[in-house]
Amino acid sequence: MSAESGISTFRDAGGLWEKHRVEDVATIEGYERDPQLVINFYNERRKQLSTVHPCRGHELVAALEKDFDVTVITQNVDDLHERAGSSDVVHLHGELMKVTSSFSPNDPSQIQTLQSDHLEVHLGEKAPDGSQLRPFIVWFGEPVPMIEKAAELTAQADIFVIIGTSLNVYPAAGLIQFVAPDTPIYLIDPKDVPWSSVHRFIHIKKGASAGMEELMEILQDKDK
């Protein structure tokens, strides 16, 4: 989804993210090995995020709230869904605009939201518990605290829409197993996507924005 806004993804770059190895900037081992590199990397990602805007796809997802009770479950760490107007967003992999404790990253009392005039974190800046502030990002190998909530929401869905994912990253990719048997699934992605579920789906082979345009038409026709 966010690729259309100019946010790069590592899955399309052979395991690289903004020319860095994912192992160096998106694992606890990389952070412990070189915290300055990791802190600088996410400082740059925040600066980049401040220069981009929600794409048409983000806006159309938000527009669904006019007719549906919508929950967005996202693997993206940016705030573009919120900026587009989505009111209920579950971030599986954390939030780029937040920082937290290196000791207890998922403790709500340690999580802070950065402001637009303070996007950089520096080595030596402390969380309330006295540890180094780190990005509030779920790195590879770390638990995904919101996955149980996401699974519960998925099981309750009357319509399930998947937008622009490789379905290679677990546990998020496993959410399709929680979709109720009679719930329609729409997959929006211009590429062929590996599908491991017995659940049938409708594949809209377009990018996020064009695919959402088509989905809106389909849902409007069903309402007639």
Q: Exactly one of 93, 122, 199, 203 is catalytic; name it.
A: 93
pLDDT averaged over every residue in the chain? 91
pLDDT of residue 15: 55
Tokens for 184, please give them.
């329609």
**Which position has the higher pLDDT, 67 or 11?**
67
Q: Is 93 a catalytic residue?
A: yes
The per-residue pLDDT for 92 is 95
pLDDT digits (tens, 9 = 90+) for 52-105: 999 999 999 999 999 999 999 999 999 999 999 999 999 999 999 999 999 999
How far is CA 214 from each of CA 187, 189, 190, rounded to the nearest angstrom? 11, 12, 13
Rounded alpha-carbon distances, angstroms, from residue 65 to 36, 42, 99: 41, 31, 29
How many helical (H) and strand (E) elements, i.e. helices and strands, does the chain have?
Answer: 7, 10
Average pLDDT over residues 138-145: 94
Q: Distances in Å between the alpha carbon of 55 and those of 91, 144, 209, 210, 221?
A: 18, 27, 7, 11, 24
Domain of 134, in residue numbers: 2-223
- Into how many domains does the chain fold? 1
Residue 95's contacts (CB-CB under 8 Å, 6 or more residues apart) are: 77, 79, 136, 137
How far apart are the C-alpha atoms of 98 and 105, rounded to whole Å? 11
- Whether the full predicted model's pTM is greater than 0.85, yes or no, is yes
Looking at residue 114, the DSSP 8-state letter turns out to be P
Write the CATH number for 156. 3.40.50.1220
